[in-house]
Structure 1
C-alpha cells in the first residue's frame, strides 16, 4: 500500500470519527439546555444574588458554542473526506503513470 493510500485511509477513518462525534453530545446537550430553563436548584440564593439570569445566559452561551463546535466537526469531516478521495485518485493516477512508463 502506498503512502498516499495509507494517508487516504487514515483521513477517511478520521472523517468518520468526526462525523460520529455529535451523536455522542446530542443527548447531554439536550439535557443541559433543558436544565437551563429550570434553575430551581439555586433556590432563594439565586434570586437574592440575581444570578439566575446570568447563569441561564451562560448556559445558553455554552449550548450555542457546543452546537457551533458540532458544525465545525462536520465541516472538518467533510474536508478530510474530500482530501482522502483526492489522495485515492492521485494514488491511482500515479500508479497508472508508473505502469505506462514501464511498459
Structure 2
C-alpha cells in the first residue's frame, strides 16, 4: 500500500469518527438545554443570590458553544474526507503515470 493510500485511509477513518461525535452528544446536549430552564435544584439559595439568571445564561452559552463545535467538527470531517479523496485520486494518477512510463520505455 502506498503512502498516499495509507494517508487517505487514515484521513477517511478520522473523518468518519469525527462525524460520529455529534451522535454521542445530541441527547446530553438536549437534556442540558432543558435543565437550563429548570434550576429548581438551586432552591432558595439561587433565588436569594440572584444566581438563577446568570446560571441559565451560562448554560445557554455552553449549549450554543457545543452546537458551534458540532458544526466545526462537521466542517473538519468534510474537509478531511475531501483530502482523503484527493489522495486516493493522486495515488491512482501516479500509479497510472508510472505504468505509462514503463510501457513507453519498453517500446
Verify same fold: TM over 0.5: yes
Larger-gyration structure (1/2): 2
Per the alignment, residue 45 of structure 2 pairs with 45
- Post-superposition offset of 1:30: 0.4
In structure 1, the gaps of 5 or more residues are none
- Post-superposition offset of 1:70: 0.2
What TM-score, normalized by structure 2, do the two folds share?
A: 0.96
For the residues of structure 2 that align with 1:64 and 1:9, how far apart are their CA atoms?
33
Instruction: String of CA shifts for 1:51-79, please: whole Å, max 9, x gaps.
Output: 00000000000000000000000000000
Instruction: String of CA shifts for 1:19-40, please: whole Å, max 9, x gaps.
Output: 1000000000000001001001
Per the alignment, residue 10 of structure 1 pairs with 10
What TM-score, normalized by structure 1, do the two folds share?
A: 0.99
CA RMSD, 1 decimal: 0.3
Per the alignment, residue 86 of structure 2 pairs with 86
In structure 2, the gaps of 5 or more residues are none
How many residues end up aligned between the 2 structures? 103
**Large movers: runs of 4+ above 2 Å:** none
SS across alignment from 1:37: coil
Per the alignment, residue 75 of structure 2 pairs with 75
For the residues of structure 1 that align with 2:14 and 2:42, how far apart are their CA atoms?
42
